[in-house]
Amino acid sequence: MKILKLPKEKLDLFASVVQQFGELHAPVEQDGKYVFKRLTRWSDARLEYDRTILPPKKYFLPPQESIFRYRPGEGFVPVTDGLDQRIILFGVHACDVYAMNILDRVFAGKYRDPYYQARRKNIAIIGIDCLPDKNCFCRSMRADFVDHGFDLFFYDTGDYYQALVGTALGDDMVQATGSVFEPMDAAEIDDYKRRSLNKRRAFQLDVEIRDLPEIFEMEYESELWDELGDKCLSCGSCSMVCPTCYCYDVSDDVELGSRAGDRTRSWDSCLFYDHALVGSGENFRGPRASRIKFRFYHKQRGFVAEYGRPSCVGCGRCSNACPVGIDVVQVIDRLRRVEDVASR
């Protein structure tokens, strides 16, 4: 992989040049939190943000989208508006890039989703490295570093950025900026290593994921699930904000006075009462405890069986967004804790 350096004072120039590749979106502040948004001015970008309320997932799998129109005589006509729009997401953290790589396996693997794939093709990602806060555990989830899934990835080393070039498009962006990107010299290699070490030391949370699926398996009947079930509000917030929750629901909106309409898909959540409700009236996960349990099992165990790793990337969003304070790290800690069975 090509690694270059960009002097900090040249970032503005880079940002203005890069707009020829698409509409520029970056984290901007919203009442003390951050959201990815189209920039009206480059100075609105906040590259030192902690985490956005919604992950970049919203660009690739929007909360709600029309997928096709249906009309008697015409059949089904896919809605393709906006799919070819070129966007540049500037400032995506490693865990969120990792999450996109996970979503790729779901939407661009065995079952191909043309809407997702079109957007993934047309939306460029410029990543930026970050330092963990008290809710980040991406390192434990092996998602604190990415080697693919982005076009460029920036490391802030103080005076300049080190830029990993991930794709040909990333390289084009570098070329288009002329000579502002420079090769790295030997002394600067240490800057990278130092930064990498500092980042590793900054993590306040640590969870062990080796043999976690096995522990989940053993703790299937743990009373913890009922406790969480009593607390959980089924509000769905944790799924909405999760960069790897990909469940969606599909519904038809018929037009007044015709048999034509629109088919829409919208984000869904396994915490909702009707997520596992089927036509016969049977609900495979009726009690709330079984739904919250399912969320953890799918992330930390089911996904491992299917794709070889947990789908959780440790971004910390769900713990931040839960009104009743259900915290994934605490849940895992609690499951791993050795408890004297006699005293339970």
User: Does the footprint of ligand SF4 cover residue 270 (CB under 6 A)?
Assistant: no
Q: Which of 232, 304, 331, 332 binds ligand SF4 (CB under 6 A)?
A: 232
User: Does the footprint of other proteins cover residue 269 (CB under 8 A)?
Assistant: yes
Q: Are 319 and 333 in contact (CB under 8 A)?
A: no
Interaction pattern, residues 272-311, with ligand SF4; x per rule: CB under 6 A: --------------------x------x------------
Q: Which of 15, 318, 331, 332 binds ligand SF4 (CB under 6 A)?
A: 318
Q: Segment 77-116, which members bind other proteins (CB under 8 A)?
A: none
Q: How far is the CB of 44 from other proteins (least distance, A)?
A: 16
CB under 8 A: which stretch of 126-134, 184-192, 233-241, 292-300 binds other proteins? 233-241
244 binds, among ligand SF4, other proteins, none (CB under 5 to 8 A by kind): ligand SF4
Q: Which of 4, 326, 331, 332 binds ligand SF4 (CB under 6 A)?
A: 326
User: Does the footprint of other proteins cover residue 202 (CB under 8 A)?
Assistant: no
Contact residues for other proteins, defined by CB under 8 A: 30-33, 35, 53-54, 58, 63-64, 230-237, 240-241, 251, 253-257, 259, 266-267, 269, 272-274, 288, 320-321, 323-325
